[in-house]
């Protein structure tokens, strides 16, 4: 350490130049650092979606999910495999072990997909969704037009706007809610076909062979062939056919295949050809748009800068604006960057105020502008260095990293004060700095060791808090390095021109006299010491009522809100759109509400795996509006929709929302295949669990069901007319859901051609029963004559865990501890006879928490022992009394934290992340101050040691109060929601730390030494 300080003095100019360069480059780089509300907290995940529009949830499970799960099960590094099967969509979520590279995981999944899972050809090929950020939605762009049709506007969005937005750096995906792709539809009326003597197969073959290409393998267009070329004596000429079919009128002219000789029937004679769009999987309600409207959702990649993505999206839309005449573009539909802009502005002004106050304080305390300049560098260099290191690691700058830096700033202030206080008598600068840095070096080791348990916290909470703790540790280490290098160099360069200040500053003399007087009173008064300890101990108990349920992070002042809607299963898209429109109209009347847009159901490759009974309304509150009043007005409007489940939250809350489990509950998960057997087995398990002592209220719930039309073909009746069950299914699938038969191309755009039935043929249950099916003999038969068509309940979502269906039987635990209850339940269910192929797993919401808690407790105990050993080693100059001094210092730490426990109540009666982070710098200041006081107490007067440390400790306390003041006086505003409680805790803790360090600690040590028996040598010395 002496060599480092001496080298810094010898190379003072080079050190300062390096510091200036670091500040210049670091600030320049940080101007472009990624900014987000939350750090990336998701584990490595890969999601595979397979779309099969028209299939029920049960069919999606059977035809797609099950065979694909078999392919993915057993992948290397796979931690957990879950899936959702909903009408028209299969979504398989593969979660990999922590630390797995997500792109390596994607490669493994790609290899399995390339092997060709045994997926029936009923939909689009499996699509692996791009990796998304934890807060994936970076922007929403609303498009509306009164001049363009919905299909034309959708074509523009799909083929012109979306590709441009995908090119914006940081964008992972762009989904279109309400997309209506252009499609040439050949609509058939079974009765009309029957009258013309044309079969449905003839229509399909004709429409498919009319195109250059077709996905149907049984038509000739499935192998279009190549046009070739010819060689002339001078050149080679390629041959190209021009598809003459571009409009419904063109397709209507195509003659029907396999008709009798001389027949001149064309498609237009037996069908109706129109330009329309496929059935919708979801929809959008754009803010007050009277015409067509869509929402483009821009999703960003992990670690992408939300602000940079927003700038890129707005620049792209401005670039496209000249070609969007007649289209209204709203880039403010949902803009998370607006909150980040407000947060950065508030943080910037608060940080600037803190720096100005600190620099002024250093200049006033030492009565020197040179000291103020030194302080500016001593504070700025470590903070910029810590932030820059995080940026180099690829971490986004979030509220949690800002909280960690603010906590580190308090320690950096103490480093600057200690260094400047040490050189006020500059007879020997290296020795003066070394006398301070040695005990503070031990204190640094204690601070680093104390943070280890916080880095071991598991789960999402651990992922979030680690971002703050890491920032704090970076700032602390950078502050120590700066105090060893940059600060001595600046002192050497700037203070050589001043006269040696052998006399302490006036403030130092006042502080020393006050501490000497107060310390003398406490040393002489046992009652005073006991009273102070009792008061501080009672103050520390203020932390107890703050424990309880509540989120780790506070609610942000984000003016972008989302309402999560859920209607009854089976609710139609038409009904959900009507509800969304009515809610939007009422919400726009709330004062302060600026934009209201809604998404319903799902979009192609979107982030919502839901049916059309679910939706989201995105609300923007104007920048000048009263935030609280606007939220209350929105809540009043939402209360007018009692038939719908709804929840108002910010997007950050939506991203963090997890399924909450009862901490006093035990769950038995029954795996199986047949719902009837699962229900019977769940009933057995419920009865068994209710008999277990301490376990009661067992219940289970089967998947939610909705009315579904089922078609049960009678094989005998179908065979009588020459039809097989597969023939019946394929024909009805074409008439009810439609079938793509080919594609046509226009101006680098690809559109589908499909065969479907006229809407009136599939509008209700009776029409479906009366559908006329072709028979091999050339006749026709009604569907109701060969099949039973009825409405029965069926699951609308089928979830799998570890490639199996499951039912959870959950019960509450009371009157016994959870471990005992779990053992009893395991023993009880092991004797239950389960259906063939079923098995159970006993789970608890606390199992993982208890395991993590046990590891955390063991790590904390180990760190506590390590801290005790470090304190003893640091105070070994006191000889045999080093253990006593270490014990006194260790026991005094809770008293130092008591002020923070009291001021935490001002921020709210909840122990959140801001409160917890605020205790980190208080702990560090308490350890560092204790080291400064006790390092010279090797038999000398402890009050004298406290007097020598009075000015540094009080200067640090005032500096910390000034540093956190700008974050505390404004309250919880955008960007300071986490810093506000942290600032209050740090301020309160800094005050009690100064009291304990300068008052109680010397008194306790002095009285402890007075109570110890003295040796003969000590009496002689005395």
Rounded Cα gap, residues 1004 and 881, in angstroms: 13
Mean pLDDT is highest, among 220-224, 523-527, 588-592, 860-864, for 588-592
Q: What is the pLDDT of residue 659?
A: 46
Q: Are 168 and 309 in contact (CB under 8 A)?
A: yes
Q: Give the number of domains in the chain.
A: 5
**Ramachandran area for residue 843 (φ above 0: left; ψ -120 to 50: alpha; else beta):** beta
Whether residue 847 is predicted with pLDDT greater than 70 in this model: the reply is no
Which one-letter DSSP state was computed for residue 571?
Answer: -
Q: Is 29 exposed, middle or buried (0-12, 13-18, 19+ CB in 10 A)?
A: middle
Least confident of 320-324, 540-544, 741-745, 767-771: 540-544
CB 245 within 8 A of CB 744: yes
Q: Is residue 1017 part of a domain?
A: no
Mean pLDDT of 929-934: 82
Instruction: For residue 561, tell me if it sits in a domain.
Output: no
> How long a stretch of residues is the chain?
1022
Q: Does residue 565 fall inside a structural domain?
A: no
71-75, 298-302, 520-524, 566-570: least confidently modelled range: 520-524
Nearest to 1020 by CA among 943, 942, 939, 944: 939
Check whether residue 462 and residue 419 sit in a common domain.
yes
**In this structure, what token pair is assigned to residue 112?**
């399995």
Q: Are residues 309 and 453 in the same domain?
A: no
Same domain flag for 391 and 243: no
Q: What is the token pair recorded at 445?
A: 């080791």
Is residue 656 in a domain? Answer: no
CB-side neighbour CA atoms (13 Å) of 993: 36
Antiparallel, parallel or unpaired: β 614-621 and 560-566 = antiparallel
Query: Is the pLDDT assigned to residue 321 strictly greater than 60?
Result: yes
The per-residue pLDDT for range 464-484, each reduced to its tens digit, is 888 899 999 999 999 999 988
632-659 pLDDT per residue, tens: 999 999 999 888 889 999 888 888 875 4
Dig out the tokens for 392 from the structure: 């180099």
Q: What's the confidence (pLDDT) of residue 283?
A: 92
Q: CB burial class (10 A; 0-12, 13-18, 19+) of residue 552?
A: middle
Cβ atoms of 751 and 744 within 8 Å: the answer is: yes
Strand order in the sheet with 183-188: 271-276, 183-188, 749-757, 739-746
CATH number of 730's domain: 3.30.2090.10
Q: Does residue 648 belong to any structural domain of this protein?
A: no
Residue 1007 has pLDDT above 70, yes or no: no
Burial track 871-899 (b if 16+ CB lie within 10 A, e otherwise): bbebbebbeebbebbbebbbebbbbbbbb
Q: What's the confidence (pLDDT) of residue 377?
A: 93
Q: Which of 205-219, 430-444, 534-548, 652-666 has the highest mean pLDDT?
A: 205-219
Q: What is the pLDDT of residue 499?
A: 46
pLDDT band at 116 (very low <50, low <70, confident <90, very high): low
The answer to whether residues 286 and 151 belong to one domain is: yes
Structure token pair of residue 670? 């029954």
Assign 216 a pLDDT band (cuts: 50, 70, 90): confident
What pLDDT score was predicted for residue 852?
62
Using CA atoms, how far residue 572 sits from 44, 290, 383, in Å, is 35, 22, 55
**pLDDT attached to residue 1001:** 80
Pairing of strands 183-188, 749-757: parallel
Q: By CB neighbour count within 10 A (0-12 exposed, 13-18 middle, 19+ buried), where does 661 fall?
A: middle
Q: Cβ atoms within 10 A of the Cβ of 160, count?
A: 14
Tell me, what's the pLDDT at 427? 56
* Angle subtended by helix axes 979-995 and 526-540, to nearest 10: 170
pLDDT tens for 710-724 read 999 999 999 999 999
Look at residue 175 and give its three-state secondary structure.
strand
Same domain, 386 and 399: yes
CA 990/CA 957 separation, integer angstroms: 6
CA distance 810 to 667: 4
Can you give the CATH number for the domain in which 444 is found? Answer: 1.20.1640.10
Say if residue 141 is in the same domain as residue 108. Answer: no
Domain residue limits at 196: 183-276+707-795
Average of pLDDT values for 211-236? Answer: 86
Please, which pLDDT band fits residue 503 given cuts at 50, 70 and 90? low
**Orientation angle between helical segments 399-422 and 913-934, nearest 10 degrees:** 10
Judge whether 27 lies within some domain. Answer: yes
Based on the domain organization, do 994 and 858 belong to the same domain?
yes
Residue 803 has pLDDT above 50, yes or no: yes
Place of tokens 């026709």: 780
> 474 and 361, same structural domain?
yes
pLDDT tens profile 873-888: 887 754 456 777 888 8
Angle (nearest 5°) at CA 566 between 587 and 141: 55
Q: Which of 471, 170, 207 is nearest to 298 (CA)?
A: 170
φ, ψ dihedrals at 41, nearest 5°: -120, 0
Stated as kind and residue range, the H or E segment containing 671 is strand 665-672
Residue 1018 has pLDDT above 50, yes or no: no
Q: Are 598 and 612 in contact (CB under 8 A)?
A: no
Output phi, psi for 192, to 5 deg: -70, -40
- Residue 509 pLDDT grade (very low, low, confident, very high; cuts 50, 70, 90): confident
Average pLDDT, the chain: 86
Q: Tell me the per-residue pLDDT of 805-844, one tens digit each, with 9 for 90 and over.
A: 999 999 988 878 777 888 888 889 888 888 888 899 888 7
DSSP secondary structure letter of residue 996: I
Look at residues 132, 155, 172 and tell me which one is the last residue of a structural domain: 132
More confident residue, 432 or 587: 587
Question: 451 and 385 in one domain?
Answer: yes
The angle, 0 to 180 degrees and rounded to 10, between the axes of the packed helices 459-484 and 913-934 is 40
What is the C-alpha to C-alpha distance for residues 1022 and 267, in angstroms, rounded to an integer? 118
pLDDT band at residue 1015, thresholds of 50, 70 and 90?
very low
CATH number of the structural domain spanning residue 298: 3.30.70.1320
Is residue 654 in some structural domain? no
Quickly list H helices, 49-199: 57-60, 66-72, 102-114, 150-156, 162-166, 190-196
Q: What is the pLDDT, as a whole number, of residue 118?
A: 59
Same domain, residue pair 589 and 518? no
Looking at the predicted structure, is the pLDDT value of residue 190 above 80?
Answer: yes
Per residue, the 3-state secondary structure of 591-607, as one string, reads CCEEEEEEEEECCCCCC
Residue 742 sits in the same domain as residue 601: no
Domain final residue, candidates 776, 795, 814: 795
pLDDT at 498: 57
Q: Where are the beta strands (DSSP E) in 318-430?
A: 328-334
Please indicate, yes or no, whether residues 669 and 546 belong to a single structural domain of this protein: no
Q: Is the pLDDT of residue 764 over 60?
A: yes
Tell me the whole-structure pTM to 2 decimals: 0.86
Distance (Å, whole) CA 45 – CA 96: 6
Q: Is 558 helix (H, G, I), strand (E, B) or coil?
A: coil
Query: How is residue 152 written in tokens?
Result: 């034309």
Q: Band of the pLDDT at 1022, cuts 50, 70, 90?
A: very low
Residue 724: inside a domain = yes
Mean pLDDT over 671-698 rounds to 90
Q: How far apart are the first and last CA of the chain?
A: 35
């Amino acid at each position: 350490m002496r060599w480092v300080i001496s080298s810094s003095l010898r190379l003072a100019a080079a050190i300062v130049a390096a510091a200036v360069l670091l500040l210049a480059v670091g600030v320049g780089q940080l101007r472009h650092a990624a900014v987000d509300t939350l750090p990336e907290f998701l584990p490595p995940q890969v999601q595979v979606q397979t779309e099969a529009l028209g299939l029920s949830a049960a069919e999606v499970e059977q035809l797609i999910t099950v065979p694909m799960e078999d392919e993915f099960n057993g992948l290397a590094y796979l931690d957990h495999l879950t899936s959702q099967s909903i009408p028209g969509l299969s979504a398989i979520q593969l979660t990999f072990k922590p630390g797995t590279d997500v792109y390596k995981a994607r490669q493994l999944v790609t290899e399995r997909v390339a092997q060709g899972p045994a997926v029936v050809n009923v939909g689009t090929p499996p699509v692996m969704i791009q990796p998304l950020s934890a807060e994936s939605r970076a922007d929403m762009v609303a498009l509306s037009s009164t001049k363009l049709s919905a299909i034309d506007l959708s074509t523009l969005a799909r083929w012109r706007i979306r590709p441009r937005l995908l090119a914006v750096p940081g964008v992972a995906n762009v989904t279109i809610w309400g997309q209506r792709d252009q499609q040439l539809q050949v609509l058939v009326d079974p009765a009309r076909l029957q009258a013309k003597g044309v079969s449905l197969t003839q229509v399909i073959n004709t429409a498919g062979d009319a195109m250059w290409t077709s996905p149907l393998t049984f038509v000739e267009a499935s192998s279009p062939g190549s046009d070739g070329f010819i060689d002339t004596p001078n050149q080679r000429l390629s041959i190209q056919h021009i598809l003459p079919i571009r409009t419904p009128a063109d397709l209507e002219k195509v003659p029907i295949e396999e008709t009798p000789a001389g027949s001149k029937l064309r498609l237009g004679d037996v069908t109706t050809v129109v330009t329309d769009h496929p059935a919708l999987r979801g929809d959008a309600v754009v803010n007050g748009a009277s015409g067509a409207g869509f929402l483009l959702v821009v999703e960003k990649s992990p670690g992408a800068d939300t602000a940079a993505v927003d700038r890129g999206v707005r620049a792209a839309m401005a670039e496209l604006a000249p070609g969007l005449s007649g289209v209204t573009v709203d880039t403010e539909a949902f803009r998370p960057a607006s909150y980040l802009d407000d947060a950065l502005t508030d943080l910037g002004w608060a940080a600037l105020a803190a720096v100005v106050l600190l620099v002024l304080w250093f200049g006033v305390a030492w009565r020197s502008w040179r000291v103020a300049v030194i302080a500016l560098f001593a504070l700025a260099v470590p903070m910029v260095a810590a932030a820059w290191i995080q940026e180099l690691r690829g971490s986004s700058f979030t509220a949690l990293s800002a909280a960690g830096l603010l906590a580190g700033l308090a320690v950096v202030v103490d480093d600057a004060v200690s260094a400047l206080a040490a050189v006020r008598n500059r007879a020997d600068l290296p020795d003066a700095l070394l006398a301070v840095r040695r005990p503070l070096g031990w204190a640094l080791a204690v601070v680093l060791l104390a943070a280890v348990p916080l880095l071991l916290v598991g789960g999402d909470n651990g992922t979030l808090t680690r971002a703050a703790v890491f920032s704090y540790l970076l700032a602390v280490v950078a502050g120590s390095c700066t105090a060893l290098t940059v600060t001595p160099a600046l002192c050497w360069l700037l203070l050589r021109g001043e006269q040696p200040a052998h006399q302490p500053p006036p403030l130092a003399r006042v502080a020393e006299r006050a501490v000497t007087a107060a310390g003398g009173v406490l040393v002489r008064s046992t009652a005073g010491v006991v009273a102070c300890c009792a008061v501080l101990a009672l103050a520390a108990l203020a932390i107890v009522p703050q424990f309880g349920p509540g989120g780790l992070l506070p609610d942000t002042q984000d003016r972008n809100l989302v309402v999560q809607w859920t209607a009854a299963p089976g609710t139609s898209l038409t009904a959900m759109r009507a509800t969304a429109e009515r809610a939007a109209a009422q919400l726009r009347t709330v004062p302060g509400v600026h934009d209201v847009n809604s998404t319903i159901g799902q979009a192609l490759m979107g982030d919502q795996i839901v049916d059309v009974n679910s939706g989201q309304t995105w609300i923007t509150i104007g920048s000048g509006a009263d935030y609280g009043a606007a939220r209350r007005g929105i809540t009043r409007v939402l209360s007018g929709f009692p038939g719908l489940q709804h929840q108002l939250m910010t997007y950050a809350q939506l991203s963090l929302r997890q399924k909450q489990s009862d901490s006093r509950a035990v769950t038995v998960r029954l795996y199986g295949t047949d719902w009837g057997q699962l229900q019977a087995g769940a009933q057995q398990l419920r009865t068994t669990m209710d008999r277990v002592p301490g376990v009661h209220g067992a219940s289970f719930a089967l998947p939610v069901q909705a009315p579904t039309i089922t078609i049960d073909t009678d094989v005998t009746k179908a065979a009588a007319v020459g039809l097989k069950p597969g023939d019946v299914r394929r024909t009805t699938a074409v008439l009810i859901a439609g079938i793509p038969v080919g594609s046509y191309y226009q101006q680098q755009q690809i559109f589908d051609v499909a065969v479907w039935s006229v809407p009136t043929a599939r509008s209700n249950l009776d029409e479906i029963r009366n559908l006329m099916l072709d028979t091999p003999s050339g006749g026709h038969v009604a569907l109701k004559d060969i099949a039973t068509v009825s409405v029965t309940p069926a699951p609308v979502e089928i979830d799998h865990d570890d490639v199996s269906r499951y039912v959870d039987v959950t019960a509450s635990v009371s009157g016994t501890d959870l471990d005992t209850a779990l053992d009893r339940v395991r023993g009880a269910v092991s004797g239950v006879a389960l259906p063939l192929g079923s098995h159970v797993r006993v789970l608890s919401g606390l199992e993982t928490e208890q395991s993590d808690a046990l590891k955390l407790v063991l790590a904390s105990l180990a760190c506590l022992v390590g801290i005790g050993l470090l304190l003893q080693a640091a105070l070994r100059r006191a000889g045999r009394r080093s253990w006593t001094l270490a014990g006194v210092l260790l026991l005094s730490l809770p008293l130092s934290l008591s002020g923070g426990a009291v001021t935490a109540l001002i921020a709210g009666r909840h122990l959140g992340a801001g409160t917890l982070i605020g205790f980190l710098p208080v702990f560090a200041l308490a350890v560092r101050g204790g080291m400064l006081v006790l390092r010279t107490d090797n038999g000398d007067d402890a009050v004298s040691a406290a007097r020598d440390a009075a000015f540094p400790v009080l200067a640090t306390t005032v500096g910390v109060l000034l540093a956190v003041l700008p974050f505390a006086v404004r309250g919880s505003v955008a960007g300071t929601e986490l810093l506000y409680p942290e600032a209050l805790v740090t301020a309160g803790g800094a005050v009690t730390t100064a009291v304990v360090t300068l008052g109680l600690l010397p008194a306790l040590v002095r009285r402890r030494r007075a109570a110890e028996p003295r040796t003969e040598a000590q009496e002689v010395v005395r």
